Amino acid sequence: MTPNSQNRSDWQTIKSLWPYIWRSKYRVMIAFAALTLAKLANLGIPVTLKKIIDGMTPNPNLQTALIVPIALLVAYGGLRISMTLFNELREMVFFRVSENAARTVSLQVFNTLHNLSLKFHLSRQTGGLTRDIERGTRGVRTLIGFSFMTIVPTLIEMCMVLGFLWAKYDVIFVSITALALVCYIAFTVGITEWRTQYRKRMNEMDSNANQKAIDSLLNFETVKYFNNEAFEAQRYDQGLKQFRSAAIQSQNSLSLLNFGQQMIISIALIAILWYTTRGVVAGKLTLGDLVLVNTLMLQLYVPLNFLGVMYRELKQSLVDVDKMFNLLHSAPDVLDAPDANELHVAHGRIEFKHVHFSYNPNRQILHDVSFVVEPNTTTAIVGKSGAGKSTLSRLLFRFYDIDAGDVLIDGQSIAKVTQTSLRRAIGIVPQDTVLFNDSLGYNIQYGRPDANATEVRAAASAAHLDDFLSRLPEGLDTAVGERGLKISGGEKQRVAIARTLLKNTPILIFDEATSALDSHAEKAIQSAFDDAARNRTTLIVAHRLSTIIHADQILVMEAGRIIERGTHAQLLAQNGSYAAMWAAQQEERTIEAVA
């Protein structure tokens, strides 16, 4: 995250949100005009009611007594209809503004998350992250909608009422009303600021409990394997208990706030009605004035009371939106250079030049690694676990920036080209294949979303999925389940191979691509690999040496260094680490065959 993202003020959050609102400035202006007209009509209602009451005095002229009230009643009804009309017009016009802003912010956060580095996603907590986005999106709608539908209208009405009382009556009316408003707002703001700590804690506990639940469900099989259902329930319940504690504190403080608000409103209403009643008794004011003042106060205090609720909601929304904006303002670790160009692959030559790399300063992964993969050739990388083999493929994709050295494709440094064009040129079958919770066809087509059904079927056939698909009633429409858990590891691997073949890139990476396959399936898919690698630059990270004996070059890695290189025959002749690995695996295969 950016350094200053942790301590953003409410005003900074509102400023960040304002550009999304002002994109629809004409709608905002029309909505504001409708709002003003609605409040003028609302102010005119009690004024007309006063005239009706004052006009209904005994009069010997019957015609005048009938015409005046009827005219005022028609005006009264017209004002109420106008108020409703302008309020609904405001909501119709402004609702699109709110929804567009929420959609735009949510989409930008989604895109930002995809643009963040692999380091961020490896350390994230998916459940808490999705809950933050969900609350933030809801908070945007609340912040925009309630502020324009409640706070702004109430502030306009407050100004109109105070102006009317100042012009129509003496300063006492204005003083009582203004003092009550100041006390009410100050009390509401003060208590709400104090209550915010409980809301923040509720959010933290909610995200924490949700993270535990999602993490447990994603690892459902592991929970079952170790019979830890009760343990997971206990962990989840601990989070719920912490949330409950924060929620109770929040509710108790809410009761205090509500009681204080009602006390201020009631005292002010009693004071102003008492003063008005004295004026009526003294003959200075009429019964119509008493009704007018009472109606004005009720019209003002009812939304003002609602304003207290809305202010609390807005403060809570500001907390939620701020978290989402922190995500939006998170800076990725890997950035395109300001002058980055598109990668142009003419031949597909890959070169690692004196590359040094570490995931953290305390642990060096690669030490002065240099090698070249010539165009249309296959280079295999072998070695023990932790030797740094898979790190090479991650660096080629530029998921991380190297500490020193350079990585080039056709002479172009990958640090100086756009990440999008770089990754467009490389296809990979990863060691751990995770599929989308959709159909087999969707997961294969994901390699190239604009591919047609014939191309998808051809890719599936090339990955030797035909036999498997023939046994499925729904074929390519078969759902694979969450993370592809409805199909076997070998089938998942073949789906990954199919979508990589469909991507049809000049550079291919197979990172332990046959690790989940049995020997028979491995031999069947090997021919697909050979076909796919033809006329392409191919990098294979392998454990089973039998799968890479055909490689043009084999690199043997140990502790982040290349210790041997050559063809299969050359490395066997050297009688070094590769020869020892080959002998050990051949012995294992002999034992398996006998067994």
pLDDT (tens digit per residue) in 434-463: 788 888 888 898 888 898 989 989 888 888
pLDDT on residue 57: 52
In which region does residue 555 sit, left (phi positive, over 0), alpha (psi from -120 to 50) or beta (all else)? beta
Question: Does residue 474 surpass a pLDDT of 80?
Answer: yes
Which CATH architecture describes the domain 334-425+509-516+539-595? Answer: 3-Layer(aba) Sandwich (3.40)
Give a three-class secondary structure readout of 243-277: HHHHHHHHHHHHHHHHHHHHHHHHHHHHHHHHHHH
Question: Does residue 546 surpass a pLDDT of 50?
Answer: yes
State the DSSP H helix or E strand holding residue 207, giving kind and residue range, or none if neither.
Answer: helix 171-218
pLDDT on residue 13: 73
Q: 70-84, 170-184, 512-526: lowest mean pLDDT where?
A: 512-526
pLDDT on residue 595: 52
pLDDT on residue 374: 92
Q: pLDDT grade, residue 556 (50/70/90)?
A: very high
Q: For the domain 431-504, what is the CATH superfamily, name and number?
A: P-loop containing nucleotide triphosphate hydrolases (3.40.50.300)
- Residue 304 and residue 295: Cα distance in Å, rounded? 14
Half-sphere exposure of 532 (CA within 13 A, CB side): 32
Question: Does residue 146 surpass a pLDDT of 80?
Answer: no
Instruction: Give mean pLDDT, residues 146-170.
Output: 80
Cα distances (angstroms) measured from residue 575 to each of 111, 382, 578, 582: 51, 15, 7, 10
pLDDT (tens digit per residue) in 326-365: 777 777 778 888 888 999 998 889 999 999 999 887 888 8
* CB under 8 A, 24+ apart: contacts of 238-244: 239/205, 239/208, 239/209, 239/210, 239/212, 240/209, 242/205, 242/208, 242/209, 243/202, 243/205, 243/206, 243/209
CATH code of the domain occupying 5-328: 1.20.1560.10
Instruction: Give mean pLDDT, residues 89-108.
Output: 83
CATH 1.20.1560.10 intervals, the chain:
5-328
- Residue 47 and residue 168: Cα distance in Å, rounded? 11
Label residues 409-441 b or e (16+ Cβ within 10 Å = b).
bbebebbebbbebbbebbbbbbbebebeeebbb
pLDDT on residue 342: 92
List the structure tokens of 236: 């989840």
Q: 72-86, 214-228, 514-528: lowest mean pLDDT where?
A: 514-528
CATH 3.40.50.300 intervals, the chain:
334-425+509-516+539-595, 431-504
Question: Does residue 62 surpass a pLDDT of 50?
Answer: no
**Residue 87 in contact with residue 38, Cβ under 8 Å?**
yes
Helix (H, G, I), strand (E, B) or coil at 49: helix
pLDDT on residue 547: 81
pTM of the model: 0.62
Cα distances (angstroms) measured from residue 297 to each of 177, 181, 269, 271: 8, 11, 7, 11
State the DSSP H helix or E strand holding residue 538, giving kind and residue range, or none if neither.
Answer: strand 537-541
